């Protein structure tokens, strides 16, 4: 049976703009999950959203909407971001999911029955942005010691968890399992600042917060949002219900978190698990932060410098691989790292466009030019070849070693060491000179073979980290895109294999021009008028009955052509269940007729038919308009039969 590997990200608060800090943790976990899958392990990768609590309740109230109305679009955006970044999770848990809520109640019930939860009165300070309780002595200058913001004095009836009881067992666990909390500096912090100072019991319920999980034994109280949130790591596996996912995957192999929430993961969470009699996770890693101008990049603080931190914009401009690569390569693992758009661009240009992109395109181009696109024979091995082959063959061990330390920057460095050596090998062997001498044809073939092999090996080694380029590189050398680590050994490419030249995988970025454009775009994004414009565009409220008058159905475009004499219009033939309709839409600037055929779209089917440029239109196809000149068709996210009603 395959070894299991269970890895988790924190579950994020849906309380504002998503930024690359969230992408940092999730992309690292995705790379680790992909790496372990490629090792043949049975991986479960969990991420999600932490949706209850005072913060969400307040934000929703401020906008005059329900918490659900507030969080749903933010959660959809986050899922979209993971899709854009090719994050392959096994489950996206929402703490509002029914199974999670039931399991949290089960946990509280169990702790209540065992006497680890008891009723008393809470009096102390609360930091809403951090959802943290503090005693007066812990405050720094009367403010939250974690984030420096205002705290409020709270006094209410509350249930408490006997956290104090578990301090000795926690200290013992740290001592006996040095791998449990990493990096080492975090252990010292936990031991000196919290465990040695003595733990106080933790207030784990609120009567003043309604947006939360009601306690099964006292419905006036809702669960403290951190207990609700931490439980996700087991509830996602069906803890407390009939589900063998828990039996298969628990304990987690790794909880990857930012350093500011280590305290919750390394003290409260293991104490809860001890109280439940469940095994502890194998490891908690508290990574460093992405900083801007020396400050934590954060959704709740306006960072001083305008940098492009919007992941959607970054992926749109430079592609998922560029963003993933930057996050995985640039910041020394475990430490903080300053983010600037310039450094991002420099890194992408230097490593991806210059080193990797050039190696692949030069190698393929030389094989196409000199050998008609057929891979030459491996030929005799000469002195300089040996070093290259040894480095390529040894890279996997280095990647494995780095990934065992969770260190993606080191793993990538090992791969790019091979890439750099191969580029140097081109300079040393000068294939363009060999190509001029017919007597050196065999040597030219051998050199190009070696380079092609290096491209193939690096592509496979890069699979956990990049999600687009490896498949393209492998395709360029006619290799199986699904090739795994078992095919890494140098020499697997077959003589005569077809080699094709692809357009540049990573086009070079003109950094000066790009920075100027980015600065302009960031400034425009920040213009307050934008928000006003959005507010102006708001339509008046309608009742559900009014909305119900609109008939929306899923249709399949079965034919499409341009409307003569119009630059904007396309004429689609749309199958809607058993019916076929003629529809005209103003989307010719965004979609070609060929692209439209086969698309599933949402059609307003009870609009009065009209003629547009002489063509009958019996409905309207729905599109999303980003207000900046971009347009996208609205489609069902899963396969649905045409004719299905949209409600
Ligand atoms: O704390 N640099 O959620 P959250 C690096 N819901 N990573 C960053 C970052 C930055 N500048 N900013 C955010 C919560 N992160 C709780 C977690 S878990 C049971 C509950 C990442 O939305 C990092 O992983 O505030 C950090 O720990 C997490 O986002 C905090 O996300």
pLDDT, tens only, 428-439: 999 999 999 999
Give the Cα separation of 376 and 495 in Å (integer). 5
Task: List ligand 1's pocket residues with C-beta within 6 A.
Answer: 10-13, 21-22, 24-25, 50, 229-230, 232, 257-258, 260-261, 289-290, 296-298
* Secondary structure (DSSP) of 581-603: EEEEES-TTT--HHHHTT-EEEE
Indicate the top mutation candidate among 7, 8, 9, 12 to test ligand 1's pocket, ranked by most ligand atoms within 8 A of CB: 12
CA-nearest residue, atom 29 of ligand 1: 22
Which range, 78-82, 517-521, 537-541, has the best average confidence (pLDDT)?
Answer: 78-82
Test site for ligand 1: of 261, 272, 294, 302, most ligand atoms within 8 A of the Cβ: 261
Q: What pLDDT does 613 receive?
A: 81
CA–CA separation, 131 and 11 (whole Å): 14
More confident residue, 593 or 415: 415
Closest atom of ligand 1 to 260 CA is: 27
Query: What length is written for the chain?
Result: 647
Q: What is the pLDDT of residues 545-558, one digit of tens each?
A: 888 889 999 999 88
pLDDT of 15 reads 73
What are the start-end ranges of the H helices in 377-468?
383-404, 408-429, 431-434, 441-461
Residue 94 has pLDDT above 70, yes or no: yes
User: How many angstroms from the chain centroid is the CA of residue 558?
Assistant: 35
Minimal-distance CA residue to ligand 1 atom 23: 258
CB 634 within 8 A of CB 602: yes
Domain ranges of the chain: 357-487, 548-646
Tokens describing residue 334? 């475990």
67 alpha carbon to ligand 1 midpoint, in Å?
Answer: 20
Q: Which of 11, 21, 144, 300 to mutate to test the pocket of ligand 1 (most atoms within 8 A of CB)?
A: 21
Q: Give 279-325 pLDDT, tens digit per residue.
A: 999 999 999 999 988 888 875 545 545 688 889 989 999 999 999 99
Q: Is 309 or 114 the better-scoring residue by pLDDT?
A: 114
pLDDT of 531 reads: 40
Q: Whose CA is nearest to atom 28 of ligand 1?
A: 258
pLDDT of residue 172 exceeding 60, the answer is yes
**549 C-alpha to center of ligand 1: Å?**
43
Q: Name which of 268, 266, 336 is nearest 297 in CA terms.
A: 336
- Please give the residue that has the higher pLDDT: either 198 or 538: 198
Pocket test for ligand 1, best of 7, 8, 9, 10 (most atoms within 8 A of CB): 10
Taking the CA of residue 25 as reference, the ligand 1 atom at the shortest distance is 24
Residue whose C-alpha is closest to residue 151's, from 175, 127, 134: 127
Output the CA torsion sign for 368, 370, 372, 378. negative
DSSP string covering 327-363, please? HHHSSPTTS-EE--HHHHHHHIIIIIIIIIIHHHHHH
Split at pLDDT 50, 70, 90, the class of 616 is confident
**Nearest ligand 1 atom to alpha carbon 264:** 19
Give the residue whose CA is nearest to atom 9 of ligand 1: 21
- Classify domain 357-487 by CATH architecture: Orthogonal Bundle (1.10)
Instruction: Give the pLDDT confidence of 334-380 residue by residue, as tens digits.
Output: 999 999 999 999 999 999 999 999 999 999 999 999 999 999 999 99
CA of 56 to the centre of ligand 1 (A): 16
pTM for the model: 0.81
Which residues, other chains included, contact 460 with Cβ-Cβ below 8 Å and sequence gap of 6+?
470, 474, 483, 484, 485, 487, 488
Please name the fold of domain 548-646: OB fold (Dihydrolipoamide Acetyltransferase, E2P) (2.40.50)
Spatial separation of the C-alpha atoms in residues 585 and 561, rounded to whole Å: 11
| Minimum-distance ligand 1 atom for the alpha carbon of 50 | 6
Q: What is the mean pLDDT of the chain?
A: 92
Ligand 1 atom nearest the C-alpha of 297 is 11
Angle in degrees, CA 333, 337, 341, rounded to 5: 125
Q: Which residues pair with 624 in a beta bridge?
A: 632
């Amino acid at each position: 049976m395959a070894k299991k590997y269970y890895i988790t990200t924190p579950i994020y608060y849906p309380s504002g703009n998503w930024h690359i800090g969230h992408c940092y943790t999730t992309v690292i976990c995705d790379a680790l999950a992909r790496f372990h899958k490629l090792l043949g392990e049975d991986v479960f990768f969990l991420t999600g959203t932490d949706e209850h609590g005072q913060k969400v309740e307040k934000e929703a109230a401020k906008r005059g909407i329900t918490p659900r109305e507030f969080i749903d679009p933010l959660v959809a955006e986050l899922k979209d971001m993971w899709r854009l970044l090719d994050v392959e999770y096994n489950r996206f848990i929402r703490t509002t999911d029914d199974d999670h809520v039931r399991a949290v109640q089960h946990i509280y019930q169990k702790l209540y029955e065992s006497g680890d939860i008891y009723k008393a009165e809470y009096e102390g300070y609360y930091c809403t942005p951090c959802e943290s309780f503090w005693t007066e002595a812990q405050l720094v200058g009367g403010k939250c010691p974690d984030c420096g913001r205002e705290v409020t004095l709270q006094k209410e009836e509350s249930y408490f968890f006997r956290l104090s009881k578990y301090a000795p067992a926690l200290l013992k666990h740290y001592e006996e399992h040095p791998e449990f909390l990493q990096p080492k500096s975090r252990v010292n912090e936990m031991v000196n600042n919290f465990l040695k100072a003595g733990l106080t019991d933790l207030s784990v319920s609120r009567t003043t917060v309604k947006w939360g999980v009601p306690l099964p034994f006292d419905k006036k109280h809702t669960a403290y949002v951190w207990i609700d949130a931490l439980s996700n790591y087991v509830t996602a596996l069906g803890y407390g219900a009939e589900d063998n996912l828990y039996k298969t995957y628990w304990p987690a192999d790794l909880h990857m978190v930012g350093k500011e929430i280590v305290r919750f993961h390394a003290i409260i969470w293991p104490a809860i698990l001890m109280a439940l009699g469940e095994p502890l996770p194998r490891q908690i890693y508290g990574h460093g932060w992405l900083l801007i101008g020396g400050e934590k990049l954060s959704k709740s603080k306006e960072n001083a410098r305008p940098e492009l931190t919007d992941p959607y914009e970054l992926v749109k401009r430079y592609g998922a691989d560029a963003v993933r690569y930057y996050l995985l390569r640039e910041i020394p693992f475990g430490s903080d790292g300053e983010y600037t758009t310039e450094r991002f661009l420099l890194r992408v240009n230097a490593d991806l466009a210059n080193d990797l992109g050039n190696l692949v395109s030069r190698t393929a181009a030389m094989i196409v030019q000199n050998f008609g696109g057929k891979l030459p024979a491996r030929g005799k091995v000469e002195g300089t070849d040996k070093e290259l082959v040894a480095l390529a063959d040894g890279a996997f061990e280095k990647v494995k070693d780095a990934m065992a330390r969770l260190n993606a920057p080191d793993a990538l460095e090992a791969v790019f060491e091979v890439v750099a050596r191969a580029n140097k090998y081109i300079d040393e062997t000068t294939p363009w000179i060999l190509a001029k001498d017919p007597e050196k044809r065999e040597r030219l073939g051998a050199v190009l073979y070696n380079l092609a092999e290096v491209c193939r090996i690096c592509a496979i080694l890069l699979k956990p980290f990049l999600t687009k380029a490896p498949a393209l590189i492998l395709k360029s050398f006619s290799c199986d895109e699904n090739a795994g680590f078992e095919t890494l050994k140098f020499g697997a490419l077959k003589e005569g294999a077809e080699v094709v030249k692809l357009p540049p995988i990573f086009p070079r970025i003109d950094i000066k021009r790009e920075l100027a454009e980015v600065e302009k775009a960031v400034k425009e994004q920040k213009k307050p008028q934008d928000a006003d414009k959005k507010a102006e565009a708001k339509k008046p409220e309608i009742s559900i009955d009014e909305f119900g008058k609109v008939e929306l159905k899923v249709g399949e475009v079965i034919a499409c052509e341009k409307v003569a004499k119009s630059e904007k219009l396309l004429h689609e033939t749309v199958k809607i269940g058993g019916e076929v309709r003629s529809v005209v839409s103003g989307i010719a600037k965004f979609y070609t007729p060929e692209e439209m055929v086969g698309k599933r779209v949402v059609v307003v089917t009870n609009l009065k038919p009209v003629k547009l440029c002489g063509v009958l239109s019996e409905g309207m196809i729905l599109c999303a308009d980003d207000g900046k000149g971009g347009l996208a068709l609205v489609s069902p996210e899963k396969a649905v039969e045409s004719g299905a009603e949209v409600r």
